[in-house]
A and B are shown apart, each in its own frame.
Chain A
Amino acid sequence: MTPLSFEWQWNIEYVIFFGLLYVALGIIGGGITFVAIKTALQVFGFMRERKFHD
């Protein structure tokens, strides 16, 4: 459900409940996007691979 859905109600409960969900999804999506971009830059030689320990 998004704020554009017909079931959405503009009250604090919806904002907190879905706000936290979208924050979690945003962090997961943002993290994956960051890793994908960084990997692409390394693959195409625009960025060096960091030496990795452990």
Chain B
Amino acid sequence: MDSPLIPHGVKRCTPGVFFLWTLPWLALLAWGGLSAFLCLWKGLNQTNMSNVFAFALWIVFDLAVIALGAGAFFTGFLTYIVGRKELKSIINTAVVIGFICYSGAMVMLGIDIGQPVRGWFIMWHANIHSMLVEVSFCITCYLVVLAIEFIPLILENRQIEKVKELRFLGHNLHEIMAVFAATGTFLSFFHQGSLGGMFGVMYARPFAAREGFYIWPWTFFLFVLSAIACGPCFTILCTKLTEFLSRKKLVPDDAIEFLAKLSGRLLAVYLILKTFDYLGWIYGIVPRSGLTFMDFFRDGPYGVWLIVAEMIFCGLLPAIILLTPGGRKSQGALIFASLLNCTGIVLNRFLFIIVTLAVPVMPFDRFWGYLPTWQEWGIGLAVVGYGFLVFSLAYRYLPMFPKEIELNPVPSE
């Protein structure tokens, strides 16, 4: 039925099977839609956010997907600026993932601010001393850049390409993509960094506060580094999942190998710097605040195990696997390491957002607990459903993997 829309020379499942595949993701979107409607109609009392937890599940999702989507800007930088030709076989996937992550995060933020129609206030009535304002500027501009990077791929659809004007537009956009990739790299560097910087300057919250260089706390640089260390791994994970589900090879090994190796090296550098950061924090900021390291973990479910899991199981272990040639060559080990790397970054963002707000600061403070409501889960998981849906549609109707035909020749009948 939809075969005229499917790219030439590739095989896709039947429309019926594809429709069944989309049902769970549509269900998640419906759940999210209902939750969003309730939040916008009745207000943020539909959530368990409070004066203590002004940042909650949605911000964890936001920061996690923004870090995971960093593969787009980093792969774009390597492809268009550095000139790594082997990455051309995976850049489209990275862009689609980046677009999904950033657009999903923006929609979630629209609900989170409670009054989305006033979202533009942060741009027009900007508080230039706020890291969040810089984040909003850069994320909004970068989403525009990602849309511009995504458009040429959409215009390569078999039917759309027949329209001469749109084909010219797509080709011309593609020709100056390096300019957009460079702008995207600049914007991404600053918003990834400012997201970290925002926590580092919380001097009244010793769990998050850090020292730093000039106006930037160390968390500024660590957030950038952690994002570019895990972003490529998330791109690898999505590619491998698509290969598993479609039972095809979609990206040549050299591109995956290069991204995995780079990710491993960046993760190793990040872990070394993060260890120094933790030591400086434990022996510097924490005692100066009149606390000890263990004071943070006296109450509640968040123990030292979270930091051990972040640094050892989701940091050191994947770094070793990704740095070992044998580990990168083994499909199972590569997927396991990528999964751990991505889990590590989610854990890191969770620590900075939830644990920072939950732990007591003053001697008379108590530990604050937080559990999201079904509406909060609904909106968070809707982003997952939206991601699967857009990625599936892009895979079905667009030439997302340029080497697919070469790697999977269709036998002539």
Contact = CB atoms under 8 A, between A and B. Distances in A.
Contacts of B129: 13
Q: What 9 A-B pairs come out closest when comparing CB atoms? A: A17-B128, A35-B172, A39-B168, A42-B168, A39-B169, A52-B171, A38-B172, A27-B183, A24-B141
Given A21-B141, A27-B183, A28-B144, A39 B126 contact: no
A27 B144 CA distance: 12
Contacts of B137: 21
A43 B183 contact: no
A28 B145 contact: yes
A34 B128 contact: no
B128 A28 contact: no
A31 B168 contact: no
A7 B125 contact: yes
A28 B176 CA distance: 11
A49 B170 CA distance: 12
A50 B183 contact: no
Is chain B's binding surface mostly helix, strand, loop or mixed?
helix
A50 B171 contact: yes
A22 B91 CA distance: 27
B128 A13 contact: yes
Contact of A28 (B124, B125, B141, B168): B141
Contacts of A35: 169, 172-173, 176
Interface in B122-174: 123-126, 128-129, 134, 137, 141, 144-145, 148, 164-165, 168-169, 171-174
B88 interface: yes
B29 interface: no
Contacts of B148: 28, 31-32
A52 B202 CA distance: 51
B258 to A, nearest CB: 17
B172 A39 contact: yes
Most buried by A among B88, B134, B183, B187: B183
Interface in B63-114: 88
Contacts of A42: 168, 172
A5 B175 CA distance: 37
A39 B169 CA distance: 6
B390 to A, nearest CB: 22
A31 B151 CA distance: 14
A6 to B, nearest CB: 10
A34 B176 contact: yes
A50 B172 CA distance: 9
Interface string B178-195: 011001001100000000
A25 B141 contact: yes
Most buried by B among A5, A28, A52: A28
Most buried by B among A7, A25, A39: A39
Interface string A1-22: 1000101000001100110010
Nearest to B176: A31
B176 A54 contact: no
B171 A28 contact: no
Contacts of A24: 141, 183, 186-187
A43 to B, nearest CB: 5
Contacts of B144: 28
A32 B141 CA distance: 13
